[in-house]
Amino acid sequence: MKTRFFFFLLLGGLLSAALLLGGCKPKKTMQVRQIPLEDFFKNPEKARFQISPDGKYFSFMGPYEKRMNIFVQEIGKKNAIRLTSEKDRDISVYFWKSPSRIVFLKDTGGDENFKLYGVNIDGSNLKCFTDFPKVRTEILDDLYDFPNEMIIGLNKRNPEAFDPYRLNIITGEMKQLAENPGNIQGWIVDHDGKLRAATAIVDGINTQVLYREKETEKFKPVLTTNFKESLYPMLFTFDNKNVYATSNLGRDKSAVVIFDIANGKEIQTLYENKDFDVSDVVWSHGKKRLIAANYESWKPERYYFDEEAKQLYAKIQKQLGNYTFNITSFTRAEDKFMIRAYSDRSLGGYYVYDNVKDTLQKVADLFTWLKEDELAEMLPVEFKTRDNVMVNGYLTLPVGYTMETARNLPVVVNPHGGPWARDSWGFNPEVQFLANRGYAVLQMNFRGSTGYGRNFWEKSFKQWGLTMQNDITDGTKWLIDKGIADPKRIAIYGGSYGGYATLQGIIREPDLYTAAVDYVGVSNLFTFLKTIPPYWKPMLDMMYEMVGDPKADSIQFIATSPALNADKIKTPLFVAQGKNDPRVNINESDQMVNALKKRGITVEYMIKDNEGHGFHNEENRFDFYRAMEKFLGQHLK
């Protein structure tokens, strides 16, 4: 789990929420069983399986008192042991730290101030390592080769900066390794467990790679670039001399390179795709070599560096057929692997693959109550915008329809959050729910979406509510022009940045959408930039360049802040918000709702007191979806 410099996780991280529409049925010749709402959105019986480092056990997340907790089961036996008993909130992240101990993160009420815990696999020695108020814990490096230690980041000293600590996960003892001067955003550890590199922001808009030969030395800058052109170290080469990195220096698409970190220069390009950014790499801890580079076209893809690994993946793929798969964990000997297989119509299941015996043993199926033949395919589409930019996306049609036969369907346009993220192919419960009810769903990777290169990303700068919004509008009109969408029955729904795009959509195009749902969305660019989490503040100048400067771009902000243009809204609107949201403050939704109420316009508003940036608790998801179904059923008859 080497840490790369993570540029922004601005408005993503949402738990998927469905837009539920009632009142539309498929044609009689295409009737499909109406699947109960809860079947799409209830917690799975088991999920997020991992295999232990010694291969004797597997772990999984399962419900206890309606919250997802950690269980461990010996391979070959039927009974599992529940290690945790959380009743207030699901556990966010967990992983095996050693053959006998598991660590996990959990926040309170969605505040994203995660605390780190450890527990033995028999449930004993449960310990909270970072029980500090209003402090966020980040995993910097799991120190794979050091079973009792890991490196974490804490913003305990300064809310805006994370200092690195070496933590003993048995005793809880912590040792601070360095003091963050306030601008370091990532730390990189070598294969001997030494903290030797970092990535930082300097002058507000430049990124910098820092390096030291030994932990006793001071960090020195070796490369400084404007944030638009950057190099992200992922891990040291296995001789600890250079680093493997993704880089778009002098190129449009991010490539995998070897970077001479002592001298601050690229020395070799290992893989570059002409159409898509490489996102990261996979490597073998035991064999000490790179395995593959990951990138995403309309589906996840890999480029293999290692022929033996390529054959391994091919053997697994042959047994799984058409399912896409990931390796989620593996034994220290790398002879057994936990496999997650899935498709666009199935959450799939988990398998243990034995590389010695070449056997694939199913551990569990997910969401067994959903049947693939009742669910819809996620089709790749593309269209050109009014200014001749090609935009890729996905169209999901109700079962029984094709691009040729789908005509005058009700549609949900679903812009993604981020906005510097992307929609991806795979199983999406809210999309499948809509398709099951007879609705087409359009998702598009509008300009600024990641994975398509630097130029496409930069086209989004200072374009919130402008050309980015045009892409969404043009996609909607493209679907109308093809005859697929009924122009009188189109809804727009989005979460986070997608919520902002929803609000801006019904302001810019008041006659295009019949109904709208804003889920934890930004409504006022001025106030949004004042209420960001403290650890985003070192990146504020970058955000000014990407979103806009409240002073220099004030006229534009006034025009593109939905709460300041509520007089233009006539589309029925539903707003949902978590009270503890640290990314999009509840004031964003409050002021939008109040602006409409002042005009005497009724707007439905749901607030959940124990949620943050998205509704994670099962009962809150159900409430949201039921209210959404009723609201939109009234307007999209």
Residue with tokens 């990314």: 583
Report cis status (omega within 30 of 0) of the bond before 419. yes
What letter would DSSP give residue 377?
Answer: -
d(CA 585, CA 580): 8
Are the CB atoms for 234 and 261 separated by under 8 Å?
Answer: no
Q: How far is CA 493 from the centre of its chain?
A: 18
Edge-to-edge strands, sheet with 57-64: 47-51, 57-64, 67-74, 80-82
Rounded to 5 degrees, what are φ and ψ at 307? -65, -40
- The angle subtended at Cα 571 by Cα 565 and Cα 577, nearest 5°, is 75
Candidates 254, 416, 449, 613; catalytic one: 613
- Coil, helix or strand at residue 590: helix
496 is catalytic: yes
Percent helix, strand and coil across the chain, each to the nearest 5: 20, 35, 45
d(CA 252, CA 98): 41
Candidates 474, 581, 616, 635; catalytic one: 581
Distances in Å between the Cα of 320 and the Cα atoms of 164, 326, 361 are 41, 11, 11
d(CA 322, CA 339): 14
Identity at 563, one-letter amino acid code: A
Are the CB atoms for 24 and 438 separated by under 8 Å?
Answer: yes
Task: Report the relative pairing of strands 101-106 and 93-98 from DSSP bridges.
Answer: antiparallel
d(CA 570, CA 96): 52
DSSP assignments along 6-42, one per residue: -----B--PPP------S----GGG------HHHHHS
Q: List CB contacts of 460: < 8 A, sequence separation 6 or more.
A: 419, 420, 446, 447, 448, 467, 468, 546
- Give the count of beta carbons closer than 10 Å to the beta carbon of residue 512: 18
Candidates 98, 496, 523, 589; catalytic one: 496
Q: Which of 199, 202, 201, 175 is nearest to 187 (CA)?
A: 199
581 is catalytic: yes
Read off the tokens for 290.
């790179």
Q: List CB contacts of 320: < 8 A, sequence separation 6 or more.
A: 339, 341, 351, 360
Residues annotated as catalytic (active site), given as ranges: 496, 581, 613
